[in-house]
Amino acid sequence: MAQCWPPPPPLLLSLLPALLLLQLGLSLSMAATGNSLITSIASNYFLDLGVYGLDCPLDLSGSNFTRVASQCSNPSERGRCCRYINAMVAISVSQYANATSELGVAADMSERCIRTISKTFELYGVTSNATVFCGFGPKIHVTYKCQGRSTVTQMLQSPKFDDVAENCRAPLAEDKACRRCLNSGVLYLRNLLGPIDNVTLSTCRDATFAALASQVDYSSRLDIASCFFGVQGLIIPAGSPPPVPPPETSPLSPGAASPTQLSLTGSLKGNHHINRLAVVLGIGVAVIVLASILLAVLVFLIRRKHRELEDSDANDDAPPKALALSAKKFQDGPPGTFRKYSYRETKKATNNFNTVIGQGGFGIVYKAEFQGGLVTAVKRMSKVSEQAEGDFCRELELLARLHHRHLVALRGFCIERRERFLMYEFMANGSLKDHLHAEGRTPLSWRARIQIAIDVANALEYLHYYCDPPLCHRDVKSSNILIDENFVAKLADFGLAHASKNGSIFFEPINTDIRGTPGYLDPEYVISRELTEKSDVYSYGIVLLELITGRRAIQDNKNIIEWAQVILDSEGSRMDELVDPYLGDTYDFDQLRTAIAIVRWCTQREGRARPSIKQVLRLLYESSEPMHSGFVEAVEDDEGEGTENRGRKSRGKNVFSSGDRNLASSSSTSRSYCSRSFLLEMGSPQSPNNTPSI
């Protein structure tokens, strides 16, 4: 099966001969001495100098390594293991920031600190597999830089940071206090970063924590860390003996690895003999001379390759090989599904790209009219990068396999030169976001809102239960819900979708980068980075609350859940206050009560306390019409709960009925093949193919 990976950079390929030559030169210089002892001496000398020769200023004294080692030794606790490692490193960075006002160590010291901290974790029983899986170094940094801000002062002076500091004052042990702190942090990062569909929040989240924690005492610092990273017991309890590393595995000297004082420092072990030092210096001079010669060769190769790349860019009319193979596979697929369009056809159909109808994180969307009368929406990728290519390939592969009346259908694609286009069925009535929030639009009726909620739930039910392997959409929001000319709602934008790795209906937690849209992001996912189908259920609850209230997910710098929390907790006495004022009294009171109960259930802080999308759909059908009770019994959820018709008490006239729309779930068809192998190959960046299991 063709993989949608961009080819290796040509420049890297050109440098390989030079790099191999460098390695050969070093090997020959070692062999020329005729003494294996000299090679060993030089290797040990440079190893000691690189790892232990200079100090790393980050201090993990008092850290509860016993707790971390226990979590990391359990394969089912991988996400918690990563949060503990992240939290310990972030606390040490905040202590360093308190002393220096810098959000991490200097760049030339970063690699040294990463190696030394990794060896320290191994020393106290945390396996090297754990730090590799959690991405310590590539993902969990020792130097934080958020949008160019690398000091505490820069973070404190950034817009809206005062709100975070105000809402994150210790103590944060209570659930409401911690939730308030996390919500203010998400709002702050949204204002700071803007649209973040393709930006990881982790580094800026860690920088925000370090800036906050550097301004408070040690106990408050631990309190904030427990809230930010969702872990407890980060330090050794008072009165408990410190953990003692196994002496046979210790890479440090006994003084440096004292069980009473952990220090991330090292020193050269022993004094080198004068002759030994002279040999090392001689080898160093030889390496410098050889490196100078190789540098001149590299400069020549780089300049030559640069000219070749300029020439190839001028004449490059072919897409990357992997994309071309993938495109050919779909083009050769069943006739009548979709086709490949040329760049010329696309340009003509969009009137030279002058028919803009929308714009998102992926790029601009145009209305296109092709020969033969086909009208489509054309999404154009704004920039070609490795991540954008991955999202493009993912969406092309998924939509080619997915077929459901409540998912936007793919009509075609175009891959030419550096241009990437996807052609979708044209949705004449735009997005749900436009109908709810755009000025000048006729407000949606209560009946239409409930029907849209049912349509979206049907789409998610198909993804979670009837697709093989099951999928998490990962970006359910009102702007990704499109409405056709018959007012049928359909779910769109699968660039962030993620597959269940084991193919089971119920997802195992998947450790991923944080991607999504603020306001709709599951707080548990933000903290743990563990993705399950319950993250989609949380986002669905936000969309349902939008339908009820007519408010945006984030409005007046306040999260919609935070705004509605008091009313949601009032057990029904103030439900009227949540209803969109444009609806007046034209809504069904029983349906409103059911919808609010679903919102309250879907937005529970812990994913395991939320319902499955089947349970949500069942409640919506039960509240719609008694005639659907037979359907509800036919789609019993996993617990096998019975169906219970509810009485109806309307406020004003009864405005909800199924009309001519068929409410039966079209998800209850045979499972669709969703290209398991492609999705697993394009899986979580946290879990590279060759990374061993913890």
- Geometric angle at alpha carbon 487, from 375 and 555, rounded to 5°: 105
Q: What is the pLDDT, as a whole number, of residue 242?
A: 57
- Domains defined along the chain, listed by start: 10-52+271-309 (no CATH), 65-249 (no CATH), 321-425 (3.30.200.20), 432-655+662-681 (1.10.510.10)
Residue corresponding to tokens 């929030």: 437
State mean pLDDT over 60-70: 85
Rg (CA), the chain: 29
Give the number of other Cβ atoms within 10 Å of residue 118's Cβ. 18
**What is the rounded CA–CA span in Å between residue 514 and residue 197?**
9
Q: What is the pLDDT, as a whole number, of residue 232?
A: 86
- Cβ-Cβ contacts under 8 Å for 582 (sequence gap 6 or more): 443, 550
Question: Over the stretch 627-637, which tens digit does the pLDDT of each residue have?
Answer: 444 444 444 44
- Collapsing DSSP to helix, strand or coil, 587 comes out as strand
Determine which helix (DSSP H) or strand (DSSP E) holds 419, and give its type and residue range. Answer: strand 419-425
Average model confidence (pLDDT) across the chain:
74
Q: What is the pLDDT, as a whole number, of residue 547?
A: 96
Q: What percent of the chain has pLDDT over 90?
A: 24
| Residue 2 tokens, joined | 């063709």
**What is the rounded CA–CA span in Å between residue 339 and residue 638?**
39
Residue corresponding to tokens 């700071």: 192
Q: Which carries the bigger pLDDT value, residue 598 or residue 319?
A: 598
**What is the rounded CA–CA span in Å between residue 47 and residue 184?**
45
Q: Which carries the bigger pLDDT value, residue 538 or residue 260?
A: 538
Q: At residue 381, does pLDDT exceed 70?
A: yes
Give DSSP secondary structure letters for 395-416.
HHHHHHH---TTBPPEEEEEEE
Q: At residue 318, does pLDDT exceed 50?
A: no
**What is the rounded CA–CA span in Å between residue 584 and residue 655?**
12
Q: What is the pLDDT, as a whole number, of residue 596?
A: 94
User: Phi/psi at 59 (nearest 5 deg)?
Assistant: -115, 120
**What is the rounded CA–CA span in Å between residue 352 and residue 298?**
44
Q: Which of 300-314, 394-408, 416-430, 458-472 has the lowest mean pLDDT?
A: 300-314
Residue 162: left (phi > 0), alpha (psi -120 to 50), or beta? alpha
Answering whether pTM is above 0.75, one says: no
State mean pLDDT over 487-496: 85
Q: Are 210 and 90 in contact (CB under 8 A)?
A: yes
Confidence of residue 560 (pLDDT cuts 50, 70, 90): very high
**What is the rounded CA–CA span in Å between residue 73 and residue 145?**
31
**What is the rounded CA–CA span in Å between residue 592 and residue 323?**
48
10 Å CB burial of residue 99 (0-12, 13-18, 19+) is: exposed
Residue corresponding to tokens 């939509």: 399
Give DSSP secondary structure letters for 109-175.
HHHHHHHHHHHHHHHTT--HHHHHHHTBTTTB-SB--BTTB-BHHHHHTSTTHHHHHHHTPSP--SH
Q: What is the pLDDT, as a whole number, of residue 108?
A: 86
Confidence of residue 337 (pLDDT cuts 50, 70, 90): low
379 annotated binding-site participant? yes
Question: Over the stretch 204-261, which tens digit does the pLDDT of each residue have?
Answer: 888 898 999 899 988 888 889 888 888 888 887 665 565 555 544 444 333 334 333 3
CA distances from 241 to 87, 237, 564 (A): 22, 9, 47
**What is the rounded CA–CA span in Å between residue 534 and residue 73?**
26
Q: Report, as residue numbers or ranges, the catalytic residues.
A: 475
- Cβ-Cβ contacts under 8 Å for 460 (sequence gap 6 or more): 473, 476, 491, 536, 537, 540, 613
Q: Are 111 and 136 in contact (CB under 8 A)?
A: no
Confidence of residue 312 (pLDDT cuts 50, 70, 90): low
**What is the rounded CA–CA span in Å between residue 331 and residue 337?**
9
Which string of b and e fits 191-217 if b means at least 16 CB within 10 Å? bbeeebebbebbbbbbbbbbbbbbebe
Residue corresponding to tokens 């030079």: 18
Q: At residue 18, does pLDDT exceed 70?
A: no
The DSSP 8-state label assigned to residue 364 in this structure reads: E
Q: What is the pLDDT, as a whole number, of residue 691?
A: 26
| Residue 312 tokens, joined | 């190839």
Q: Which of 124-128, 309-313, 317-321 has the lowest mean pLDDT?
A: 317-321
Question: Over the stretch 600-610, which tens digit does the pLDDT of each residue have?
Answer: 999 999 999 99
Q: Which carries the bigger pLDDT value, residue 612 or residue 682?
A: 612
- Collapsing DSSP to helix, strand or coil, 387 comes out as helix
Q: What is the pLDDT, as a whole number, of residue 322?
A: 44
State mean pLDDT over 125-150: 84
Confidence of residue 619 (pLDDT cuts 50, 70, 90): very high
Q: Are 457 and 541 in contact (CB under 8 A)?
A: no
Q: What is the pLDDT, as a whole number, of residue 563?
A: 92
Q: Provide the CA 346 distance to its chain's centre, in angstroms.
A: 32
**What is the rounded CA–CA span in Å between residue 395 and residue 495?**
5
The DSSP 8-state label assigned to residue 194 in this structure reads: -
Q: What is the pLDDT, as a whole number, of residue 177?
A: 85
Question: Over the stretch 72-112, which tens digit does the pLDDT of each residue have?
Answer: 888 888 888 888 898 899 999 999 999 999 998 988 888 88
Q: What percent of the chain has pLDDT over 70?
A: 68
Q: At residue 692, does pLDDT exceed 50?
A: no
Q: What is the pLDDT, as a whole number, of residue 197?
A: 45
Q: What is the pLDDT, as a whole number, of residue 317?
A: 46
Q: What is the pLDDT, as a whole number, of residue 432?
A: 94
Question: Over the stretch 102-125, which tens digit does the pLDDT of each residue have?
Answer: 998 988 888 889 888 988 888 888
